[in-house]
Structure 1
Amino acid sequence: SVDISSAVKINEQFQISRQFWSYLIKKDLLPEPQKFINTVPHMSFVWGEDNVAFLRRRFDALKDHPLFAGMEYSEDPAVIHAWAPTIVTGRPKSQRFAATRMAVGTDIDFGALTRDLADYLKSQGAVISTDEKVTGVSRGKDGIWTLRMRRAIGKGVSRVRARFVFVGAGGGALKILQKSGIPEARGYAGFPVSGQFLRTDDQKLVARHLAKVYGKASVGAPPMSVPHLDTRIIGGTASLMFGPYAGFTPKFLKTGSWLDLPGSIRFGNIIPLLAVFKDNLDLSWYLVTQLLASKRAKFAALREFMPDARPSDWHLITAGQRVQVIKKDAKRGGILQFGTEVVTGAEGTIAGLLGASPGASTAVPIMLELMERCFPDRIAEWTPALRAMVPSYGKALSSAPALAQKTLDSTARVLELNLPA
């Protein structure tokens, strides 16, 4: 059997985000949806007898699930060519391959969405400070937190006092939580992994591929290494990206310090760190092979997906840093976690988000979880308003087919996306 629990969980979380964005659109709090979300079919694509058999079993497990209604499967080269010509053209006729397709998949420009959300907040009086680094976090006897910040330009220092602090600093979140001194942050460590992608902006090539096509991670490779060839629409312009190619750097942010990793080591997290390195030699070997991979080897990986790809059409870009969560484990000493983790102080006055995957598409359910954990005495009062924003709040779409269909249909109409089958 094939375990589909992770796919179902992520899809369920994404539907919560879709409902929230739909609410903002209907309230005219966001501009037209095409600015940040567009229909781009999602596909899985594999080749080889064993992988084809696996994908067939996965399709059989997903096809009747309410959140995956309308999923298609094919081993017919002509059908797959119609879905995504670039992954079939030039492939050996003797090669057996298969694909699944969800026509209702999406591509999201999270940069555009973030700017629109920030503009709305500023219109309501919120102050957004940029180019500032948090250098200290402390809690006074009155229970109020003081954040000390240093400006990147001019090096001026400022302070902000707050009753509640959320640390959503990406790779920088761990260090800020450590500065706060909350015991709940002890035992956590971070393992930074850099990412690179091959990208093309050739519009003739882009026009031949409208899909996000996911492959299958090689044996021993971590989940984040699943190769994918994606249509990306950023700022209204489409491009294609293939990757990721992983690498290692001790920096927690692209513009961070080479001392980020060693500087985050504490007495409380040294054992989890050592345990993870001992138990994840396959990950270490994967990173070594990725670091040593030549340009030719990286391009060969793309050609497994797009056989007729030409090096002159593509260039290598460096993406962001993923800081994977390392946490204490009673049995193994420490474990490497490939998801996200919400860390909250005992009194609910500070919280932070650690980890990288599955990323921004699940931001809304993560914030709902944070509200439930940090404000348990107020969540009942807020529930009617939350249900107005997210109608399925508190319910599992995965076990309610009628509600799932209604939710998928309504959000697709508001966000101007393909309607589910």
Structure 2
Amino acid sequence: MTDPGHARPAVDPHVVPAPWVTTTDVVLVGGGIMSATLGTLLSELQPNWSITVLESLDSIAQESSDAWNNAGTGHAALCELNYTPQRPDGSIDVSKALQVNEWFQLSRQLWSSLVDSGRLADPGQFLRPIPHLSLVFGDDVDYLRKRHEALAPHPLFQGMEFSTDPSTLADWMPLVMKGRDPGAPVAATRAEGGTDVNFGQLTRLLFDELTARGTDLRLGQRVTELRRLENGNWGVLAEDTRTGRKTLVSAPFVFLGSGGGALPLLQSSGIPEARGFGGFPVSGQFLRCTDPAIIEQHHAKVYGKAAVGAPPMSVPHLDTRWVDGAPSLLFGPYAGFSPKFLKNGSIFDLPASVRGNNLAPMLDVARGNLDLIKYLVGEVAQTSSGRLGALREFVPTAQSGDWELITAGQRVQIIKKGADGKGTLQFGTEVVSAADGSIAALLGASPGASSAVDIMFTVLRRCFPGRMDAWTSRLTELVPSFGRTLDDDPKLLAELTDWSDRTLQLRSAQTVA
């Protein structure tokens, strides 16, 4: 790619008047956790580079990074059963769980380093200790036992407990066990080392520090087009959502971290690597508890098994979260369908994303995912009594008057061509970048924010390969396990966990219950 800090583009007078053209080294599109994380890393690695952030809304972290819009927070695969599928022979595949946990450890380490250096002042504003539990019923008890047996030997999952004893389960999750049929088979695992992460607040803190260091954060700037300028740099065309005035920001490197909004912008860039990609939007809703007395009875993240055909983000969970310094309790999500790619997007987002090069893969996905479509239709048609019935599987004593329905964020699942040439629906995240490394976009959803640091490492490797050797020393200072596998090094894992726990002020969940 053209190296930031060297090439300076000539003004393109055909786009906007010259006074409204600015030049920067890096443009980050989107004011969420992904842009905040990449901006933080680049500011540490190249403090002389200028960074401009373009966010379409009037404040940052209002889409998928917002605490009320996340399907889950603090993903470490401690309790999310979709990361440990059962093989046809009955054994449990834990490879994805190990990977996701490793990714979350990288995030913890970066946050710890930022706290140590004073760039993040009070980790309690965005991070809290909370047990992570998996909960199953009936025939799934055997599955959970096998899962525990498969994970327990791994250092990353050391200390995870399994139980079918009603009294033990009542101690772990009293609200879940209260009023339950004592004869019904129930099992759970508990990992006390889990956390709740308010990624919206973390994003705001990171941007506060970035702007204090000179990052140009521009709110109310909707990016409408990307185009190559004559010198090879990118011209990022943005429109002020209040005045309609158009500006052009020119930079040798652009990152599209705008959630579902990244796909149409990636298509606008015209890079060949974007061909064939499509998006399948899925919306969500939660039931939020309104009774403080009920909220006080639950202190855990309790995850169950997803329904057949449900996307991973729709794994049901009863979730304690801290928002604005106070505990809250949510259950869901209830999946739905909307053609919008962002919560604040347009109903024309999905049809506008259809191109000649992605139509066939999108049709393949429609034909090959009838279970998913059937599931979404059922969710959209679900009545309030149906939602209450789903809640009562987790909280038998739940009353409708104690819960309110809220709308969560939008997720856009990736559609791409598989190895067989047919379109496939991907439920993870994927970095799509130009061959010259001048532009990168993040597509997809789960595990999302929790793996932001690892995803941004991928962006750095893809887009700045010539700088990685020079950056490795600083990256290892920021994230000590960079380039290493903690599950293979129990001693290093123990040292870093102790450091991270102390630095991030994480205590035993028992002391804050």
Which of 147, 156, 159 is equivalent to 1:67?
Answer: 156
Answering whether residue 454 of structure 2 is matched by residue 365 of structure 1, we say yes
Which of 125, 131, 143 is equivalent to 1:35?
Answer: 125
Equivalent pair of 2:336/2:376 in contact (CA under 8 Å): yes
Higher mean alpha-carbon deviation, 196-205 vs 161-170, is at 196-205
SS of 1:128's equivalent? strand
| CA–CA distance in structure 1, aligned partners of residues 412 and 308 of structure 2 | 22
The 5-angstrom pairing of residues 147-226 of structure 1 reads 147-226=236-315
Alignment-mate amino acid for residue 469 of structure 2: A
Equivalent pair of 1:189/1:327 in contact (CA under 8 Å): yes
Cα-to-partner distance string for 1:397-418 (whole Å, 9 max, x where unaligned) = 1222222222222111111113
Equivalent pair of 1:65/1:398 in contact (CA under 8 Å): yes
Q: CA deviation at 1:30?
A: 0.6
| CA–CA distance in structure 2, aligned partners of residues 18 and 85 of structure 1 | 29
Higher mean alpha-carbon deviation, 329-338 vs 172-181, is at 329-338
Higher mean alpha-carbon deviation, 134-143 vs 113-122, is at 134-143
Equivalent pair of 1:87/1:306 in contact (CA under 8 Å): yes
Alignment-mate amino acid for residue 195 of structure 2: T
Equivalent pair of 1:228/1:242 in contact (CA under 8 Å): yes
Q: CA deviation at 1:254?
A: 1.0
Equivalent pair of 1:202/1:239 in contact (CA under 8 Å): no
Which of 54, 73, 77 is equivalent to 2:143?
Answer: 54
Partner of 1:78: 167
Equivalent pair of 2:295/2:327 in contact (CA under 8 Å): yes
Equivalent pair of 2:166/2:182 in contact (CA under 8 Å): no
Q: CA deviation at 1:419?
A: 6.1
Equivalent pair of 2:282/2:411 in contact (CA under 8 Å): yes
Alignment-mate amino acid for residue 34 of structure 1: G
Equivalent pair of 1:409/1:419 in contact (CA under 8 Å): no
Alignment-mate amino acid for residue 296 of structure 1: S
Cα-to-partner distance string for 1:39-58 (whole Å, 9 max, x where unaligned) = 0110001110x200000000
The 5-angstrom pairing of residues 162-311 of structure 1 reads 162-311=251-400
**Identity across aligned pairs (percent)?**
52
Equivalent pair of 1:412/1:419 in contact (CA under 8 Å): no
Q: CA deviation at 1:332?
A: 5.0
| CA–CA distance in structure 1, aligned partners of residues 468 and 190 of structure 2 | 39
Which of 303, 321, 341 is equivalent to 2:410?
Answer: 321
Answering whether residue 111 of structure 2 is matched by residue 21 of structure 1, we say yes
Count of paired positions: 419
Alignment-mate amino acid for residue 23 of structure 1: S
| CA–CA distance in structure 2, aligned partners of residues 263 and 55 of structure 1 | 43
Equivalent pair of 1:104/1:419 in contact (CA under 8 Å): yes
Partner of 1:10: 100
Answering whether residue 388 of structure 2 is matched by residue 338 of structure 1, we say no
Alignment-mate amino acid for residue 207 of structure 2: A
Which of 479, 492, 495 is equivalent to 1:406?
Answer: 495
SS of 1:104's equivalent? coil
Alignment-mate amino acid for residue 198 of structure 2: D
Alignment-mate amino acid for residue 259 of structure 2: G
| CA–CA distance in structure 2, aligned partners of residues 290 and 124 of structure 1 | 46
SS of 1:299's equivalent? helix
| CA–CA distance in structure 2, aligned partners of residues 397 and 249 of structure 1 | 40
Higher mean alpha-carbon deviation, 261-270 vs 407-416, is at 407-416
Cα-to-partner distance string for 1:329-379 (whole Å, 9 max, x where unaligned) = 231511100000000001001000000111211101100111011111110
Q: CA deviation at 1:202?
A: 2.1
Equivalent pair of 1:170/1:354 in contact (CA under 8 Å): yes
SS of 2:474's equivalent? helix
Alignment-mate amino acid for residue 485 of structure 2: A
| CA–CA distance in structure 2, aligned partners of residues 233 and 215 of structure 1 | 21
Cα-to-partner distance string for 1:93-132 (whole Å, 9 max, x where unaligned) = 1111010000010001111111110000111111111111
Equivalent pair of 2:290/2:404 in contact (CA under 8 Å): no
| CA–CA distance in structure 1, aligned partners of residues 211 and 158 of structure 2 | 39
Partner of 2:215: 126
| CA–CA distance in structure 2, aligned partners of residues 246 and 362 of structure 1 | 23
Higher mean alpha-carbon deviation, 324-333 vs 260-269, is at 324-333
| CA–CA distance in structure 2, aligned partners of residues 190 and 219 of structure 1 | 21
Cα-to-partner distance string for 1:181-236 (whole Å, 9 max, x where unaligned) = 11101110000000100001422111110000000112332322210000010110
| CA–CA distance in structure 2, aligned partners of residues 75 and 332 of structure 1 | 46
Cα-to-partner distance string for 1:274-297 (whole Å, 9 max, x where unaligned) = 111111110000001101110100
Which of 405, 417, 421 is equivalent to 2:506?
Answer: 417
| CA–CA distance in structure 1, aligned partners of residues 292 and 161 of structure 2 | 27
Equivalent pair of 1:197/1:242 in contact (CA under 8 Å): yes
Answering whether residue 193 of structure 2 is matched by residue 104 of structure 1, we say yes
Alignment-mate amino acid for residue 176 of structure 2: I
| CA–CA distance in structure 2, aligned partners of residues 330 and 257 of structure 1 | 32
**Length-normalised TM-score, structure 2:** 0.81
Equivalent pair of 2:341/2:349 in contact (CA under 8 Å): yes
Alignment-mate amino acid for residue 452 of structure 2: A
| CA–CA distance in structure 1, aligned partners of residues 448 and 197 of structure 2 | 12
| CA–CA distance in structure 2, aligned partners of residues 298 and 355 of structure 1 | 27
Equivalent pair of 2:163/2:188 in contact (CA under 8 Å): yes
| CA–CA distance in structure 1, aligned partners of residues 152 and 413 of structure 2 | 31
Q: CA deviation at 1:394?
A: 0.3
Equivalent pair of 1:201/1:238 in contact (CA under 8 Å): no
Q: CA deviation at 1:396?
A: 0.9
Alignment-mate amino acid for residue 128 of structure 1: L
Equivalent pair of 2:239/2:247 in contact (CA under 8 Å): yes
Answering whether residue 483 of structure 2 is matched by residue 394 of structure 1, we say yes
Partner of 1:312: 401
Q: CA deviation at 1:310?
A: 1.1
| CA–CA distance in structure 2, aligned partners of residues 23 and 94 of structure 1 | 49
Equivalent pair of 2:310/2:375 in contact (CA under 8 Å): yes
